[in-house]
Structure 1
């Protein structure tokens, strides 16, 4: 018999083997029955970053892992983790306050890329910095500046790792005149085979960083590949383009005990 699992967020609401009870901002708003389900569940699925922290404190397993949630939409933490792990990543530096930001041009030449360090997704908060005016506009009234080496490209690779395996990989091809490859920024999905070294790099990053539900963006860099960033809130457009039923896939992974 298929096992029924408990989820808070609605990510798996269309899966037949998942009971989704929603996210309550106050734990006391859960009914006595829901509290019992939470306490008895072997794993809580999609608990949100807030509850993942609390569940980890009391020793309860979550999916995605607590380690995955720690890096959600936090480019500063992701960069530090990738650097610590010795994984390939564009040269990146974080500058705090106006005094540090005045030294950005000593560390980076133009063009370079600037990003919102936390909370951005779908290509929002990513800026092409072509000159000092662009840099001044980006740093205006900004306490934290996240600056990254610019790698010219017209496409990159999204590799989705769920559990411990790659479940899908595809190309994201930038629209004409756009340096970002995000589908939300006019990029299109390409289903040509993804080179094995890129898949291997994604698997390595997920294993080392202990991420078990992540879309890892990778691009060609010289003779190798480099990790641009990790997305824990990735979209499902790539699955739809490939004819993959995301919910049936997740149902099967749950039934098989893979997640």
Structure 2
């Protein structure tokens, strides 16, 4: 299996992968066309690769399109699993909408900048001053109810399989659970099956094949917060190697399936034998 990668770090443990710098994509068209898979392109490359060269990419096109910002992601969640999605208001950022959202949300609530990650651009709104500070930083109003939790789950799903999972406990510096914002890992407490089932269902239905799903548990009921197409590998020892092995298995299985589909079939069924 011949693969081209645009992310050397995330494909370090994969065999038979040729790394190309993203900015050199057009210089290496022949190598890209000859590849079975194109791995981890940057978002700006996706249209040229998928629609221009008709290449198979990993992560999937759905992972890129839905995971590009929280607005698209949340709308997909609302359509697929509305009862597992926290109450969310999304509006253009103008004074009229800002006042309407402020009047509807009960304090405290969460506000997010749609294109952000690693806990950046996530605010706990407790008063009007915090609300105004948030409005000054975001092009779109994205607000969500504050769930009564002090931890959430990170569930890593690759190729339809749960690769790893752990609890992310709230940092001492605020309400963030992200490891990059001071959160800590609890790998001992069991993972709720309801959360696992939810993440796997959403991954399958939305065709998300490489993601870290963040799930909150409230009285045993799972709420899907978001997923990260490019999740960190620092939560558990050996996570990077486990993810690489899952990627390799997923790509090979897809390749084998395509090879089976290409096998010539005899279009003429055998004649029945007279008895």
Normalization by structure 2: what TM-score?
A: 0.83
- 1:225-240 alignment runs, 5 A limit: 225-238=222-235
Matching of residue 85 in structure 1 with residue 84 in structure 2: no
Mark the CA change 1:160 to 1:142 in structure 2 (over 3 Å): closer, same or farther.
closer
- 1:137-176 alignment runs, 5 A limit: 137-140=133-136, 142-176=138-172
The answer to whether the 8 A contact 1:12-1:247 is kept is no
Q: CA deviation at 1:43?
A: 1.6
Q: CA deviation at 1:248?
A: 6.2
Q: CA deviation at 1:9?
A: 2.1
Normalization by structure 1: what TM-score?
A: 0.88
Structure 1 residues 20-76: Cα deviation after superposition (integer angstroms, max 9, x where no partner): 112116x43x1xxx3212112122111121222222214321100011011334000
**Unmatched 5+ stretches in structure 2:** 255-275
Q: Distance between the aligned counterparts of 1:55 and 1:92, measured in 2?
A: 34
Q: Distance between the aligned counterparts of 1:52 and 1:138, measured in 2?
A: 31
CA RMSD of aligned residues (A): 2.0
Mark the CA change 1:147 to 1:189 in structure 2 (over 3 Å): closer, same or farther.
same
The answer to whether the 8 A contact 2:110-2:144 is kept is yes
Q: Distance between the aligned counterparts of 2:158 and 2:39, measured in 1?
A: 13
The answer to whether the 8 A contact 1:174-1:181 is kept is yes
**Which residue of 2 is the match for residue 67 of structure 1?**
62
Structure 1 residues 98-128: Cα deviation after superposition (integer angstroms, max 9, x where no partner): 221111122211010001111x111111100
**Unmatched 5+ stretches in structure 1:** none
**Which residue of 1 is the match for residue 111 of structure 2?**
114
Rg comparison, structure with higher value? 2
Q: CA deviation at 1:255?
A: 5.5
Q: CA deviation at 1:191?
A: 0.7
Q: Distance between the aligned counterparts of 2:44 and 2:156, measured in 1?
A: 23
**Which residue of 2 is the match for residue 24 of structure 1?**
23
Q: Distance between the aligned counterparts of 2:80 and 2:109, measured in 1?
A: 24
The answer to whether the 8 A contact 1:172-1:182 is kept is yes
Q: CA deviation at 1:232?
A: 1.0
Q: Distance between the aligned counterparts of 1:252 and 1:232, measured in 2?
A: 15
Mark the CA change 1:130 to 1:191 in structure 2 (over 3 Å): closer, same or farther.
same
Q: CA deviation at 1:210?
A: 1.3
Q: CA deviation at 1:12?
A: 0.8
